Homo-oligomer: A and B are copies of this chain.
Amino acid sequence: MPQGHIENHLSSSSFISDIVIGMSDGLTVPFALAAGVSSAVSNTHIVTTAGIAELVAGAISMGLGGYLAGKTELEHYESEYKTEAWEVDNLPEKEKDEVKEIFLDFGLSPETSQLATEELSKDKTKWIDFMMRLELGLDKPDPKRATKSAANIGGSYIVGGIIPLLPYFFVDTPIDGLKISAVVTLICLFIFGFFKSKATGQPVLSGALKVMIIGAVAAAAAFGVAKAFGA
């Protein structure tokens, strides 16, 4: 069943992509923010307060942003669908030429392309679906995608973001917190990068290293800039 195959493929890859988006920013941004604040203040309570403010801000912004993006994708599909439906109703000859052109592009003979076009255009729903997928490259989005996306992105942001902040609760100075936070977070980024690469079929070792390096670069840059500015 090609249709079932397509849907499984799409929904699993968008689930993974949501978790990856939330978790990689969740592990990276609160980690780097806390590192930056640590370079400029001497009170761990300020670091954890800023970290928690960032966790809440990031999870809501990314979660609701994911919700809106999912809604927009659905509405975009529906608006393009209406345009194609209107064209099929009102400019059927032009649309048939476009269908025939697509078949010709795939290497079908003019006779078969003509025949296939005539048969396809008997069912308007399938005709429009064909144009959506082959002229516009749009697959029908999952209608529940927006809500799932919001929960997956926001939730994984919080799970990821708590990890780099925890050490600051148990130490006396921000720099002590940063040392433990860096070790713990870089290990978690490596593990996360490993599974992310595995899930997306990438080379696991280089994938894990890349994710860890992004976190380290972001934290080092935030530390350096905040120290220079805070001095």
What's the number of copies of this chain in the assembled complex? 2
A185 lies within 8 A of chain B by Cβ: no
* A85 at the binding interface (Cβ < 8 Å): no
- Of A39, A58, A129, the most chain B CB neighbours within 10 A belong to A58
| Chain B residue nearest to A138 in the complex (CB) | B9
CA distance A225 to B52 in the complex (A): 8
- Please, how many angstroms separate the alpha-carbon atoms of A221 and B21 in the complex? 22
B101 pairs with A2, CB closer than 8 A: yes
- CB-based contact A25/B218 at 8 Å: no
Which residues between 1 and 46 of chain A lie within 8 Å of chain B, taking CB atoms? 2-3, 5-6, 9-10, 13, 17, 20-21, 24-25, 28-29, 31-33, 35-37, 39-41, 45-46
* Mask of A190-231 contacts with B, CB within 8 angstroms, 1/0: 000000000011100000001100110111011101100110
Q: How far is the CA of A41 from the CA of B202 in the complex (A)?
A: 45
> Please, what's the 1-or-0 string for A45-72, where 1 marks a CB less than 8 Å from any CB in chain B?
1101110111011101110110011001
**A72 to chain B: closest residue by CB:** B200
- Asked if A139 lies at the interface with its beta carbon under 8 angstroms from chain B, I say yes
Verify if A133 is at the interface (C-beta below 8 Å from B).
yes
Contact in complex: B10, A36 (CB < 8 Å): no
Query: Given A120-B107, A229-B48, are A137 and B133 neighbors across the interface (CB < 8 Å)?
Result: yes
21 sample A-B contacts, Cβ–Cβ < 8 Å, listed by A number: A2-B101, A2-B135, A3-B105, A29-B58, A32-B53, A33-B57, A37-B53, A40-B46, A52-B229, A53-B223, A56-B218, A57-B218, A57-B221, A61-B214, A76-B200, A106-B120, A106-B126, A107-B120, A112-B115, A112-B116, A133-B133
Q: Which 4 A-B pairs have the closest CB atoms?
A: A36-B53, A32-B57, A60-B218, A53-B226
Instruction: Using CB atoms and an 8 Å cutoff, list the residues of chain A in contact with chain B.
Output: 2-3, 5-6, 9-10, 13, 17, 20-21, 24-25, 28-29, 31-33, 35-37, 39-41, 45-46, 48-50, 52-54, 56-58, 60-62, 64-65, 68-69, 72, 75-76, 79, 98, 101-103, 105-109, 112, 115-116, 119-120, 122-123, 126, 129-130, 133-137, 139, 200-202, 210-211, 214-215, 217-219, 221-223, 225-226, 229-230
